[in-house]
Amino acid sequence: MKKFLNDPQTFVKEMIEGVYLANPGKYIYKPEFNILARNDIPKDKVAIMQGSGSGHEPAHIMCVGKGMLDAACPGNVFAAPPMDYVYECTKLIATDAGVLHIINNYQGDRMSWDMGREMAEAEGIKIGTVIVDDDVSVQNSLYTVGRRGVAGNFFVIKCCGAAAERRKTLEEVVEIGKRVNANVRTMGMALTGCIPPAKGTPIFTLADDEIEIGIGIHGEPGRRRDKFKPANEIVDELFTAVYEDLPFASGDRVAVMVNGMGGTPISELYLLYGIVAKKCADKGLTIVKNYVGNYCTSLEMQGFSLTMLRLDDEMETYLNDPAEIAIRVF
């Protein structure tokens, strides 16, 4: 294993510290609970937080900022945050308007966030919850009962964050989050596995002529292994699965994300986006917003996922609202 680290056990904390130090004056950092939070959360605004396992950066720790998350409390690589992380983070950012928990649909995450929420509610904090389960690859997996939450969480975060900045109520922010989740679909694939720092070996291996269709972001098995094939054919399978699952229809206005899994060159991601854009045009879909790059990754895995969101006027407005996060301006 060749990675830039000192000790696998301190990898996540050192990574969060780096994000904190790269953005002086913007954040509160609580290393004992892996919390990174805005230091300027208005008290009349719904506070929004998320925190799944680490290893998916920039999700979620690098998405803290105005118009997006107000805080994140990730667990170790590919591990849910302990319930006390959730509890302490909720207490830290709680406002008069309440707190929204955005949770990706994995068993460990659901358990930790449920317990952390109950502890915070016992202290009188008002909390709303949105579960993200946008992955069309499989109905159940090693980590979930039901569909997995993957790159579609970015659209949930962005719309909820914008709604909160406009001072929507907690109930209204929850509603927009659930509406986005109901209209977003994702499917991914991989060319290679990845190496969690604490494991030191790949979580799975693929032969030189193999690919995994429908991969999960923790390396969970997908729909099947297949032989390597041209990009057009790979995109066709993912696009068809995403398009038919909702289903989308001619005339829909959509946001499209071609998300790298961490190790895919940006040049290849734009090649893939070009194929997706032509398929959208052929189906009568209008791409209103596009996102190409690394959003929800799996360490250094080579691969990509395709996410499509069917928009309504409100979602479109929220996607166009400004946002500031640790690594870029949306």
Looking only at the bridges linking them, the beta strands covering 127-132 and 99-104 are: parallel
- Model pLDDT, residue 156: 98
Contact 165, 319 (CB under 8 A): no
DSSP 195-231: --TTT-S-SS---TTEEEET--TTS---SEEEE---H
CA torsion through residues 279, 285, 290, 293, sign: negative
Q: Residue 2: inside a domain, yes or no?
A: no
Same domain, 156 and 53: yes
- Model pLDDT, residue 290: 98
Nearest CA to 156 out of 220, 101, 110 is that of 101
Same domain, 79 and 215: no
- Residue 56 annotated among the catalytic residues of the structure: yes
- Choose the catalytic residue: 26, 38, 45, 56: 56
Relative orientation angle of helices 266-282 and 231-245, to the nearest 10 degrees: 50
Same domain, 163 and 116: yes
- Which residues have CB under 8 Å from 260's CB, separation 6+? 266, 269, 293, 294, 295, 297, 303, 304
> Half-sphere exposure of residue 121, counting CA atoms within 13 Å on the CB side?
12
Domain count, the chain: 2
Report the b/e string of 109-130 with b at 16+ CB within 10 A: bbebbeebbebbeeeebbbbbb
Q: Residue 4: inside a domain, yes or no?
A: no
- Model pLDDT, residue 138: 80
Same domain, 193 and 224: yes
Burial of 6 (0-12, 13-18, 19+ CB in 10 A): exposed
Same domain, 132 and 229: no
- Which residues have CB under 8 Å from 265's CB, separation 6+? none
Same domain, 28 and 167: yes
- Residue 218 annotated among the catalytic residues of the structure: yes
- Model pLDDT, residue 218: 86
215 has pLDDT over 60: yes
Q: How far is CA 261 from CA 38, 66, 90, 100, 320, in A?
A: 27, 25, 29, 27, 25
Tens-digit pLDDT profile for residues 7-61: 999 999 999 999 999 999 999 999 999 999 999 999 999 999 998 999 999 999 9
> Which of 17-21, 162-166, 218-222 is predicted least confidently?
218-222
- Model pLDDT, residue 330: 43
pTM for the complete prediction?
A: 0.96
Percent of the chain whose pLDDT exceeds 70: 97
Q: Residue 1: inside a domain, yes or no?
A: no
Same domain, 92 and 210: no
143 has pLDDT over 90: no
Q: Residue 324: inside a domain, yes or no?
A: no
Contact 213, 223 (CB under 8 A): yes
> Which of 116-130, 139-153, 276-290 is predicted least confidently?
139-153
Q: Residue 30: inside a domain, yes or no?
A: yes
Same domain, 92 and 234: no
- Model pLDDT, residue 24: 96
Confidence class for position 4, pLDDT limits 50, 70, 90: very high
> Which of 147-151, 162-166, 316-320 is predicted least confidently?
147-151
123 has pLDDT over 90: yes
Same domain, 176 and 188: no
3-class SS of residue 48: strand
Q: Which residue has the higher pLDDT, 140 or 165?
A: 165
Same domain, 300 and 189: yes
- Choose the catalytic residue: 218, 279, 289, 310: 218
329 has pLDDT over 70: no
Same domain, 236 and 157: no
- Model pLDDT, residue 282: 98
Confidence class for position 141, pLDDT limits 50, 70, 90: low
Relative orientation angle of helices 170-182 and 153-165, to the nearest 10 degrees: 150
Neighbours of 263 (CB within 10 A): 17
Q: Give the domain extent around 226.
A: 184-319
- Model pLDDT, residue 223: 86
Of the three residues 129, 151, 183, the one that is the final residue of a domain is 183
CATH number reported for the structural domain that contains residue 313 in this entry: 3.30.1180.20
CATH number reported for the structural domain that contains residue 23 in this entry: 3.40.50.10440
Q: Residue 328: inside a domain, yes or no?
A: no
Contact 89, 49 (CB under 8 A): yes
- Model pLDDT, residue 328: 64
Of the three residues 155, 183, 211, the one that is the final residue of a domain is 183
Nearest CA to 152 out of 179, 121, 186 is that of 186
> Which of 87-101, 205-219, 240-254, 276-290 is predicted least confidently?
205-219
Contact 50, 160 (CB under 8 A): no
pLDDT average, residue stretch 243-251: 97
Of the three residues 163, 183, 203, the one that is the final residue of a domain is 183
Mean pLDDT of the chain: 95
Same domain, 163 and 266: no
